[in-house]
């Protein structure tokens, strides 16, 4: 968030160089130039503690969890469940049983859409999304539109590229059965007022799902304060391993919804006449789980806690504000969106130059940014833009990274002006 909106009396200045030294990949060169990594919204780089924990798990304590009575399995199970406990504490869940490990945030959202749709939705029921949504929080609901005939309504962005409570409220009807919205836009950077939207939803007895892929790495999370029913997390964006996500869901929903997948690990009793399902959260963790990744994600949580999420917010907020100032001074650069409450995303266009060409030229200088529609085609269609360039920040970025970005943009402009 912008620094003038962060109220933290214990603000600290981070030792960013020390933090950067924890990320081995940041010491490498690309095309003979030092790497400037500005694509953390797509996937964050990994600190040594996470990399080493994965290696140590496979070398010293790997086994299938919850299955064996032998020592290796017991140790692996203990470490696996300890990561669940760390996640629960990190987001202030009511219980560790409300934390479900998935293959990613995409699977977490699909899990909710599939099971909720199976049990509670019928033709004509309505789902409210927003024009900011990533495809991962649209396509699963679209499947229900095709299979069950549910209707999807989209809350519209305003001129600043943000969503107001009023834009959602006016869409609510007696047929509204779910509100599913992003916490932080991966294009405009808009941070939605999810606590207030949750209160609105619950006042109408409507459950709410938050896509927290961008929110979780950058903002302090408190499920008791937010009050949402479901919150999806992408672990690889939180400096953790790939192939891993988290679904936070209130216990009442995990008890009420059917399992998402069937197989070993999620059952209690099986016979020829029927099946009983395992206790929470095992009911939703079928098959052999990503054991090493889950255990290593516990190190990601420790890494974030050691720095302090409020300190990360403040650092990234200052950096985002600096980036906006620098890019706004640069002729021809147009920033996409101007939300009042903004996360560490700088999407932009450059007059007369396609974003893919921008990204290609910047790569020659070792500057890694994203170009395209960022899995948000509905938003780009609304903005009348086929694509945008995006620089997204993490805890390891510096003002020097922003300066290098700006220098490379100027080089790009010079090339296309010839």
The residues annotated with a catalytic role in the active site are 375
Distance CA 125, CA 136 (A): 20
The CA-CA-CA angle for residues 12, 18, 22, to 5°, reads: 125
Written as one string, the DSSP assignment of 187-256 is TT-BBP-HHHHHHHHHHTT--EEEE-TTHHHHS---HHHH--SEEEEEGGGGT--SS-EEEEE-HHHHHH
Contacts of 405 (CB under 8 A, 6+ apart): 36, 38, 323, 362, 367, 369, 391
Going by the DSSP 8-state scheme, the letter that residue 183 receives in this structure is S
Q: What are the structure tokens assigned to 94, written together?
A: 């009511």
Under 8 Å between Cβ of 297 and 240: yes
Q: Is the omega angle on the peptide bond into residue 403 within 30 degrees of 0, that is, cis? A: no
In 57-207, where does DSSP find H-type helix?
Answer: 71-91, 105-120, 139-148, 165-169, 194-203
Residue indicated by tokens 């600043």: 160
Under 8 Å between Cβ of 370 and 39: yes
Distance CA 229, CA 273 (A): 34
Distance CA 155, CA 257 (A): 27
Q: What are the structure tokens assigned to 179, written together?
A: 């509100």
Q: Which of 245, 298, 287 is nearest to 99 (CA)?
A: 245
104 sits in which H/E element:
none
Question: How far is Cα of residue 368 from the mean position of the Cα atoms in its chain?
Answer: 19
Tell me the backbone φ, ψ of residue 369, rounded to 5 degrees: -125, 170
């Amino acid at each position: 968030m912008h620094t003038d909106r962060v109220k933290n009396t214990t603000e600290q200045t981070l030792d960013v160089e020390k933090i950067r030294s924890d990320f081995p990949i940041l010491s490498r060169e690309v095309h003979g130039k030092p790497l400037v990594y500005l694509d953390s919204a797509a996937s964050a780089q990994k600190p040594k503690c996470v990399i080493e924990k994965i290696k140590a798990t496979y070398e010293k304590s790997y086994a299938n969890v919850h299955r064996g009575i032998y020592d290796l399995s017991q140790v692996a199970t203990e470490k696996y469940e300890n990561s669940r406990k760390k996640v629960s504490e990190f987001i202030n869940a009511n219980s560790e049983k409300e934390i479900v490990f998935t293959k990613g945030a995409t699977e977490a959202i699909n899990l909710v859409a599939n099971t909720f749709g199976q049990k509670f939705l019928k033709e004509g029921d309505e789902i409210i999304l927003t024009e900011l949504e990533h495809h991962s929080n649209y396509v699963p609901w679209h499947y229900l539109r095709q299979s069950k005939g549910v209707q999807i309504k989209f809350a519209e962005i305003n001129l600043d590229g943000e969503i107001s409570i009023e834009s959602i409220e006016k869409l609510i009807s007696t047929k509204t059965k779910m509100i599913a919205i992003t916490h932080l836009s991966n294009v405009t950077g808009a941070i939605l007022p999810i606590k207030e939207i949750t209160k609105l939803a619950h006042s109408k007895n409507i459950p709410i799902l938050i896509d927290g892929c961008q929110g979780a790495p950058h903002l302090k999370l408190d499920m008791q304060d937010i009050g949402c029913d479901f919150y999806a997390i992408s672990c690889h964006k939180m400096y953790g391993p790939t192939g891993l996500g988290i679904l936070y869901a209130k216990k009442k929903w995990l008890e009420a919804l059917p399992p998402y997948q069937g197989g070993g690990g999620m059952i209690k009793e099986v016979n020829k006449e029927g099946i009983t399902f395992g206790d929470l959260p095992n009911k939703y963790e079928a098959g052999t789980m990503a054991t090493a990744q889950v255990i290593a994600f516990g190190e990601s949580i420790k890494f974030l806690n050691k720095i302090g999420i409020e300190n990360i917010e403040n650092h990234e907020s200052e950096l985002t504000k600096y980036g906006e100032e620098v890019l706004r001074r640069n002729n021809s650069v147009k920033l996409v969106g101007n939300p009042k409450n903004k996360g560490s995303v700088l999407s932009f266009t450059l007059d007369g130059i396609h974003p893919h060409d921008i990204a290609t030229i910047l790569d020659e200088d070792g500057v890694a940014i994203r170009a395209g529609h960022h899995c948000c085609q509905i938003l780009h269609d609304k903005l009348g833009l086929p694509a945008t360039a995006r620089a997204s920040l993490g805890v390891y970025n510096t003002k020097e990274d922003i300066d290098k970005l700006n220098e490379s943009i100027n080089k790009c402009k010079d090339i296309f002006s010839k």
